[in-house]
Amino acid sequence: MKSNLLTSNKMIGTIKSFYPSLTKTEQKIANIVLERMEEVVYYSVTQLADIAQVGETTIIRFCRKIGYKGYHEFKLAIATDLSEKQEIINNEQSTDMVIPIASYIKDAIDETVNKIDQNALDQSVDALNAAKRIYFFGVGTSGLTALDAKNNFLRIGIHVDSIIDTHMQAMTAATLTSDDIVVGLSVSGSTKDTIDSLSIAKEKGAKIIAVTYYARSPITKLADYTLLSGGKESPLEGGSLAAKIAQLFVIDMLCTGIALINKENAKKMKEITAKSVVKKIY
């Protein structure tokens, strides 16, 4: 079992102290975490389960056995440790941050381009165009993306709604039919409130489009169409600008796809909506 220089001794010590009491299956997880800690902090629970060749419940049991309430809290502890080590290194380096931040955001767009499935994108556009009602579900930063989506679609004359309150999501989902579609936004693909609401929508027959970083995550199990975005984030990077821009890039592709199908009406509605706010600008 090994780890590189950035790995915190605190997490290593915790895992090693519990190691003898772990089952053989749990020790497989421990070995992977110790060997790939800087990668594990970005893994979904499904992804780690796949790599360790164990069930997701075994991952949760491992986290609880070493003192954490669940997988997210476990990853948060790793991220905290890693950030403390990285901060020491950063303090010894140049304070020039413009280029690194710009590169990070550009990389998120490039990653999205490489990950996006053109067939899934085309099918998603067709499904949205045929839907009777369209809703965007998201919480936190993904909720802000949902609000941006509503703004973009409204400008081309497509009436959608963004629901960011979890109770309203659940109630709205319960009213849906097979004629409706929900776009679920979650970078982690494991946001419980969003997953719960999408599950209700699925039961009612609504189609689901998932926009997430992880191809293997709870949200993709519910999805009829999965659109992968770039910009991975650790628990300490929640609200990452790069991840949000990657989400917005996917939303823009969906919106552009709808506009191309309805060219004349989209052009007309852009003019109408632009004129409606012209007096609000000096």
* Residue-level pLDDT at 281: 78
The pLDDT tens digits for 110-127 are 999 999 999 999 999 999
Cα–Cα distance, 216 to 228 (Å, whole number): 10
pTM of the model: 0.78
Between 8 and 241, whose confidence is greater? 241
* Equal CATH topology for 9-91 and 101-280: no
pLDDT tens, position by position, 188-199: 898 999 999 999
What beta strand segments (E) does the chain contain? 133-137, 161-163, 180-185, 207-212, 225-228
Residues in CB range of 149: below 8 A, 6 or more apart: 136, 160, 162, 183, 251, 254, 255
* CATH architecture entry for 9-91: Orthogonal Bundle (1.10)
Domain 101-280, architecture per CATH: 3-Layer(aba) Sandwich (3.40)
Domain locations along the chain: 9-91, 101-280
